[in-house]
Amino acid sequence: MIKYNCLIFLFFSCIPLTFTSAQAAQAAHAHHKLQSQTDSTTTCTQEEITCAKTVTASFAPNGDLWRLWSHNDSLYFQISRDKGVTFSTVRRVPIAKESISARNENRPKIAFDQYQGVYLSWAMPKAKKYTADIRFAYSKDYGTSFTKPITVNNDKLETGHSFNEMQVSDEGEISLVWLDARLAHQARSQGKQTNGSALYLGKANYRKQQPTFTNQALANSTCVCCRIALDTSSQGELAILWRHIYGDNIREFALLTLAQDENTPLTPYQISHDHWQIDGCPHQGGGLSIDKHNRYHMVWFNQGDLGKGIFYASSLDQGKTLTKPVSIGEQSAQAAHPHIDTLGNKVNIVWTQFNGIEHQLWHQYSDDNGQSFSQPKLLTTATAGADRPFIITNNKMSFVSWHRLKQSHWIQAL
């Protein structure tokens, strides 16, 4: 029987402090004008963003910045017309209440098309532990109303379906990818030993009256508790980066690019070779961004015999070969949770560290397509815990989105 070893990797244990006074001063000056007006320690009321454990932010095609979070079985959102300086009043997504996963690697997602369409997806936990369904709702009127949520996974099994990621094209082509335990469930029902989940893809298009999601298995034996990373190549191909289980619980990252020709066999490539053997869940997904030259830029975290910490590498052949991995952040300061994005020849990487008292947000960039990087810079800190940081882009500008628990949602241009 599969063991759902969702033991959170104990990351914040006894680590020597490396935080200097100079870095502290840098943090105090880094928090500037593009910070959200919610940036103050406030009492958490039910629908306020300060109550959220995680926040998802994304720019709509018209330049509006949306932020989305969950509280008390409801989804809430706000819209900013000035890149995160101010936000509209809080609005509840007008759908019936239901359980919504919104923690760590597993949070609601939001995407847009160019016709005022707003797309939401989330995982809905069920009564049995470690079971959930992938849910989806669509608005054709920019959030005024939404369709009744549907379940995306079509197996009707009480088993795991979660860690959903979503991409939507300008024309409304929806690609949803998630970790799915139906194959493991079926194997166990036959008395077979198995490990991990499977990677599934669902496609639909509401604008073309195709609201039923396909369900296609892409890979088996994936890690069960790390988020998936998606991006689209310059040829319009969907690329997927996830943590896979190789051999005897070796947790490494794998990359798959879906060919537009459905008859072409899919070939995933192993990206990391750090030899992290762990009978548990790292809760550490990777990051993927594909630039205009179709170079794949990737970041990941491992604690293996051959590689510990955050690493960056890139590939010009969809992961078949990689540049030599570069270490990012301070391993001794628990550098973790990296995210990456590219804009022209610029590569931005953000990640978190911990000095024993405060969580820190760090940034490093390259102006030459990842050949060399700037010195790391401390952007800000959090005092009561922190979410994962994410880089989002709009109109040739990159921003970092970082939610600080019970404190604020932090937006800043990079």
Give the pLDDT confidence of 144-186 residue by residue, as tens digits.
999 999 999 999 999 999 999 999 999 999 999 999 999 999 9
Q: By C-alpha distance, which of 404, 401, 362 is closest to 386? A: 404
Distance between CA atoms of residues 146 and 308, nearest Å: 44
Residue 378 has pLDDT above 50, yes or no: yes
Does the pLDDT at position 33 exceed 90?
A: no
Reported confidence tier of residue 41, pLDDT bands at 50, 70, 90? low
The rounded distance, in Å, linking the Cα atoms of 125 and 108 is 12
- Residues 317-331 have a mean pLDDT of 96
Which pLDDT score, from 0 to 100, does residue 140 have?
97
| pLDDT at res. 262 | 67
Cα Rg, the chain, nearest whole Å: 20
**What is the distance between the alpha carbons of residues 409 and 387, in angstroms, rounded to a whole number?**
9
Q: How many CA atoms lie within 13 A of 36 on its CB side?
A: 27
The pTM for the full model equals 0.90
Give the pLDDT confidence score for residue 6 in this predicted structure: 38
Q: Which residue has the tokens 């079971």?
A: 131
Range in 92-106, 255-269, 299-313 with the lowest mean pLDDT = 255-269
Lowest mean pLDDT among 17-31, 103-117, 293-307: 17-31
Q: Locate 115 and state its tokens.
A: 């016709």
CA-to-CA distance for 60 and 206, rounded, in angstroms?
18
Q: What is the mean pLDDT of residues 292-317?
A: 97
The predicted structure's pLDDT at residue 259: 86
How high is the mean pLDDT of the chain?
89
394 - beta bridge partners?
397
Locate 247 and state its tokens.
């051999």
pLDDT at 28 over 70: no
Rounded average pLDDT over 308-331: 97
The pLDDT, as a whole number, for residue 17 is 30
**Two structure tokens written together for 276:** 């992290």
pLDDT class for 395, splitting at 50, 70, 90?
A: confident
Query: Using an 8 Å Cβ cutoff, are 184 and 198 in contact?
Result: yes
Q: Which residues contact 224 (CB under 8 A, 6 or more apart)?
A: 4, 6, 160, 179, 181, 196, 197, 281
Task: Identify which has the larger pLDDT, 244 or 396.
Answer: 244
Q: Is the pLDDT of residue 14 over 70?
A: no
Distance CA 223, CA 16 (A): 30
